[in-house]
Amino acid sequence: MFKRLVTAAVTALLIAGLGACGGGGDVSDEGTDYSVDVDQDNGSVAEEPQPDTATTTDATVYGLRDEVRHLAARTTRATRPHMTRKCTTTTRRVKHTTSTGSGTKRRTRTWYSTEQAKSCKQVRSGTETYTRVVRPERWCVSLDNLHGDATQDDVWYQVSKTTYDAAIGMDRYAHMDFTPTASGC
């Protein structure tokens, strides 16, 4: 457990350090909905609106990391009918006939054979016990100041295990952005 925390902390520090080292190119002003492009040659600034990512369900969300929560899978023992395959073999008598000749010289030969048929079906044979999942395992992260809006606090998102591990390694109220798997927790 300690090794995971150290790995997550080192990863978070590397990400933060690499983000701080990036210079020039696109710089995002988090207080506005504009992307600021700084031209290295003449220092001019060109602004263009960014698309609103809060409306799409698979969009990246960002804010200040508030709380994290791990909900273990909840299971219970249950019983169900145990089904087995039961086959029966049936026989039936089949009549065969052939005819030779014509008119008054016509002869009919008749013989019988036995054919076997196999039919199978699923039948109940007692019960069996199994483990039923009542609630799957979930990892959740809560964000404050969602998308820079100070009125949107304590918004919970379900995230992947790797995002959860990264959130554990971060300080509380550190800037965090991720793509959630579902909303709510």
Domain residue ranges of the chain, discontinuous segments joined by +: 51-72+137-185, 77-131
Per-residue tokens: 118: 């196999």
Distances 109 to 41, 93, 96, 99 between C-alpha atoms, Å: 107, 16, 8, 6
pLDDT number for residue 58: 60
> What is the chain's alpha carbon radius of gyration, rounded to the nearest angstrom?
36
Q: pTM of the full predicted structure?
A: 0.44
pLDDT of residue 2: 57
Give pLDDT, residue 134. 93
Listing DSSP states for 22-71 in one string gives: --SEEEE-TTSSEEEEE-TTT--EEEEEPP-TTSSTTS-EEEEEEEEEEE
Q: Which helix (H) or strand (E) holds 4?
A: helix 2-21
Residue-by-residue pLDDT tens, the chain, 185 positions: 556 666 777 676 667 665 555 544 443 333 333 333 434 444 434 433 343 434 345 688 998 988 999 999 999 999 999 999 999 999 999 999 999 988 888 899 999 999 999 999 999 999 999 999 999 999 999 998 888 888 888 889 999 999 999 999 888 888 988 999 998 88
Q: What pLDDT sits at residue 56?
A: 41
Residue 6 confidence (pLDDT): 67
**pLDDT at residue 151, rounded to an integer:** 84
- CA-CA distance, 25 to 20, in Å (whole number)? 13
